Amino acid sequence: MFKVKHFRDKDQADFGLCLPKLSTSEKEQLVIWMNDLHPNHEWLIPLQTELSGSL
């Protein structure tokens, strides 16, 4: 979650590596936290896409 605050190239790379490794519940929790703290963050789109594909 701390990587969301600063949108740097290395943070984007880390997110890309982490996303496939997160469980469905971890992705769901991350979406909840991001919606509360950073509701317009661009990582919400790939997270929600991943979640809709796992349903």
> Is the model more confident about 7 or about 41?
41
pLDDT for 54 beyond 80: no
Quote the CA–CA distance of 23 and 51 in Å, as a whole number: 10
**Which residues have C-beta within 8 Å of that of residue 35, sequence separation ≥ 6?**
44
Q: What is the mean pLDDT of residues 3-26?
A: 90
* Predicted pLDDT at 2: 79
Provide CB contacts within 8 A for 34, sequence distance 6+. Answer: 1, 4, 41, 43, 44, 47
The pLDDT, as a whole number, for residue 55 is: 59
Taking only the tens place, the pLDDT of each residue in 16-46 is 999 999 999 999 999 999 999 999 999 999 9
Where does the pLDDT of residue 5 fall: very low under 50, low under 70, confident under 90, or very high at 90 and above?
confident
